[in-house]
Amino acid sequence: MAEVASLKVSVWRGGEQGHFARFDVPARENQTVLDVVTHIQRELDPSLAYRFACRVGMCGSCAMTVNGRARWTCRTHVRKVVDADGALELRPLANLPVIRDLAADLAPFFDKWSRAHGTFQPKDARDGAVPDDFAVVPPASKQRREADAGIECIGCAVCYASCDVVAWNGDYLGPAALNRAWTLVNDVRDGGRGERLDAVAGDAGCHSCHSTQSCTERCPKNLDPSAAIAGLKRVLFWDTLLGRR
């Protein structure tokens, strides 16, 4: 890659309907895909729309489709994704409406978090009052470990954009929302377990997952939403079979 003097960058322009615009961007030794997009907007075409905030892999807002694969652009080195001819293709995240150019509308993604009951519901104080005492949750307990395994999600939607089932079924809640639900199902302080399991069951929920694990493969945080979904299926299987729901 270092031999290529300039990158041939194809960038999606427009909304759902649009076209690729070609830009030549100087190649650098150390360069992220977000650097390339920023160069285009600052030096070549100020009308380009894209989204970023932290630039260091904390906020999850700069995810795009880079050469056909959803990635955080801020944590993707150009030399890791371009081939010998320096071609780079940038599109907005898949499975989401396009606002403009490289900015996808994440509203459906976050709506599904709330549909999956992704909010903590205190067991001790459902009305929001402060509980009398601290809940004691041993960090090494099985349930806490299950919850901890998925708790670091920052909602970048890379998994959602990589999921085939979301592409087939627009109602499907998607890996991130189901992962979030699984962390709460395992939170012993939470009081909304039954309603949450109802919300994540069925064709729009965990039972549509084919366990192809694109979400797990592509999660930039190395989380395992596929295992979380399998956990939800397991709980719902036994609860249904034994008449506990």
Residues that bind another protein (CB under 8 A): 114-115, 117, 119, 121, 165, 168-169, 192, 195, 198-199, 201-205, 207-208, 233, 236-237, 240-241, 245
Residue 33 or 236: the one with the smaller Cβ distance to another protein is 236
CB of 54 to another protein, least distance (A): 29
CB 16, min distance to another protein, A:
19
Nearer to another protein among residue 71 and residue 196 (C-beta): 196
Q: Quick one: 6 or 240, whose CB is closer to another protein? A: 240
Q: How far is the CB of 203 from another protein (least distance, A)?
A: 5
Residue type, 167: A
- Closest distance of CB 202 from another protein, Å: 3
CB of 243 to another protein, least distance (A): 11
Distance CA 159, CA 223 (A): 10
Q: Which residue, 92 or 118, is less far from another protein as judged by CB?
A: 118
φ, ψ dihedrals at 184, nearest 5°: -80, -35
User: Contact, 104 vs 165, CB < 8 A?
Assistant: no
Instruction: Identify which of residues 41 and 169 has a Cβ nearer to another protein in the complex.
Output: 169
Pairing of strands 6-14, 87-91: parallel
